A and B are shown apart, each in its own frame.
Chain A
Amino acid sequence: MYRQAPRLLIRALDGGRGGRLIGRAFSTGVPVAPVEDSAFVEAWKKVAPNLEPPKTPLSFMKPRPPTPSSIPSKLTVNFVLPYQSEISNKEVDMVIVPATTGQMGVLPGHVATIAELKPGLLSVHDGNEVTKYFVSSGFAFIHANSIADIVAVEAVPVDRIDPSLVQKGLADFTQKLSSATTDLEKAEAQIGVDVHSALNAALTG
């Protein structure tokens, strides 16, 4: 009989609503902001009331911090590739990205930007250490809250690039460009030349 006492006590204390509150108090990680698109969920319920509405990517993501009023001292960088997250949520001083309009330096408090990348050198500066990657292409988003997302298709650290192969590739593609007949071949050869000359520049510069 006394074994049931705690349960009866809880029930007597707060009734239905409180009981649920007590149950809730132990659940950690309850999201504060709504992570579902309510309009979508409502429309779904009208069409398919018996099916649970599918989730959307927003519910799987951690919410981003809002824009701070003063400029933060560090920049948070996320550098992702299709097969790996190279850098995730690392606080650094500066990042230099190879945008199509040229090398662009990003400091904390940079204005919000969407930059398209061309093949080139990406360098991450954290204090005195600099990590350099050669990226093939992609996009860089710089948000107002000093978070930089760099999405690239392919990236290698520069110390893993073989200079002799770069020279050979450059020579090959230059030759293909001069002997190309159709537009497609010309475009492919041009891309090859661009990438290899950028590789060359990255190795030397």
Chain B
Amino acid sequence: MAMTALRREGRRFLLSPIPPNPSTAARSTMLSESTAYEMRWFLIVSLGDDLISGEVPKSNIHRKNHGRSRRSFVFVCSFFVNAGDLSLLGIRSISTQVVRNRMKSVKNIQKITKAMKMVAASKLRAVQLRTENSRGLWQPFTALLGDTPSVDVKKNVIVTITSDKGLCGGINSTSVKISKSLYKLTSGPEKETKYVLLGEKGKVQMVRDSKNSIEMTITEVQKNPVNYTQVSVLADDILKNVEYDALRIIFNKFHSVVSFIPTISTILSPEVVERESESGGKLGDLDSYEIEGGETKAEVLQNLAEFQFSCVLYNAVLENACSELGARMSAMDSSSRNAGEMLDRLTLTYNRTRQASITTELIEIISGASALTG
């Protein structure tokens, strides 16, 4: 009999207007939207278990999940028990506990995202300084060898730089989209294009459909602050393991805290440089340069290509790191703002519910009193 009463009560709360799903406005930028609700789910199951056995739970919070399967019934029970100031046997009162719980979790999420924004802002300041200092590094190479993104070669290697951590807006998806379009651009008869992926997020997205074209993946580049030695070792690794005629590095260039420009830097292998300089065009006046040092021109050009790759890669990694932090800042900022708006709406609902329950109680009392006297 008690069980049916509980079930009846629970069904009333289940029909209450607030569904336990986060609104879609905050979905894309909120920290794993299920965390707050998963914790409550375990709480719910454990409460339900105790309720069924007839004991009143002493501490609600740190209980293990028993994994019982009577989920629906248990879910129903939780709303009932959480309705604060009630006894176990069904005095009706509209509950504000649900709204209050949601408000608490939304406020926590807002605090977390604000903190993440501050952390990203402070990291950005440090990395931005180093990025701006490294911007002079690739300019001499472009001044000498020009910029030839439309070069036609047989073996292309696309080096995509992405981040390891998420919650940074859409920059990784942009880089991946551009890599895929570049792959289509550079593919053709007798040509082959391969990927080298830096960063966990790029790897995850590419593995889904282009698994066979991925030559190497490198993750945890940003674990320690990036310095030139580390990047040059990385560049050496890449150059040893892939054959290439042209390397194309795709990254997000840091323009400002709110704007990141996807960029492609092209590096040609020494043989292609020779070929292009002989045929004229952009590299035509490379022949007029005298070569000092090394035994042959080919050796110097080889060293030049490798050095160029490591310098451009260093700059690209730094720029991408800056862009990632900037994107994370703006994503967390909009997330906090959405959480704030959600909190405002919930507060209104809370007050309405509270006032309605007070009014209902008053009406019941007064009508009861008038029934006695009248």
Which residues of A pack against B, CB within 8 Å?
Answer: 37, 39-40, 43-44, 47-48, 51, 54-58, 60-61, 64, 78, 80-85, 88, 99-101, 104, 111-118, 138-139, 141, 143-144, 147, 149-151, 153
A51 CB contact (under 8 Å) in B133, B178, B263, B303: B178
Which chain B residues in 233-265 approach chain A with CB under 8 Å?
250, 253, 261-265
A116–B177 touching, CB < 8 Å = no
B261 / chain A contacts, CB cutoff of 8 Å: 54-55
Would you give the shortest CB distance from A64 to chain B, in whole angstroms? 6
CA distance A47 to B180 in the complex (A): 10
A39 / chain B contacts, CB cutoff of 8 Å: 150
Is B294 at the interface (CB under 8 A from chain A)?
Answer: yes
Contact with A along B272-294 (1 / 0, CB 8 A): 00000000000001001111111
Is B88 at the interface (CB under 8 A from chain A)?
Answer: no
Which of B16-24, B108-116, B134-142, B345-353 is near enough to bind chain A?
B134-142
A144 / chain B contacts, CB cutoff of 8 Å: 285, 288
CA distance A85 to B131 in the complex (A): 11
Which chain B residues in 297-324 approach chain A with CB under 8 Å?
300, 303-304, 307, 311, 314
For this complex, 22 residue pairs linking A to B, each with C-beta atoms less than 8 Å apart, are A37-B147, A37-B149, A37-B150, A40-B150, A44-B185, A47-B185, A48-B184, A54-B178, A54-B263, A56-B149, A64-B143, A80-B137, A80-B140, A81-B137, A82-B228, A84-B133, A100-B294, A113-B290, A114-B290, A139-B303, A141-B143, A150-B140
A104–B262 touching, CB < 8 Å = no
A43 / chain B contacts, CB cutoff of 8 Å: 150, 185
A82–B311 touching, CB < 8 Å = yes
B184–A47 touching, CB < 8 Å = yes
B8 / chain A contacts, CB cutoff of 8 Å: none
A78–B178 touching, CB < 8 Å = no
Would you give the shortest CB distance from B182 to chain A, in whole angstroms? 8
- A contact patch SS: mixed
Query: Closest residue of chain B to A118, judged by CB?
Result: B293
Query: Closest residue of chain A to B263, judged by CB?
Result: A55
Q: A37-B147, A78-B139, A100-B292 are in contact. List 7 more A-B contacts (CB 8 A).
A: A48-B177, A81-B137, A83-B227, A88-B136, A113-B292, A116-B292, A151-B137
Is B213 at the interface (CB under 8 A from chain A)?
Answer: no
Which chain B residues in 138-171 approach chain A with CB under 8 Å?
138-144, 146-150
A60 / chain B contacts, CB cutoff of 8 Å: 253, 263
B292–A54 touching, CB < 8 Å = no
B300 / chain A contacts, CB cutoff of 8 Å: 114, 116
B143–A149 touching, CB < 8 Å = yes
A149 / chain B contacts, CB cutoff of 8 Å: 139-140, 143-144
CA distance A116 to B148 in the complex (A): 23
CA distance A139 to B294 in the complex (A): 12
A114–B289 touching, CB < 8 Å = yes
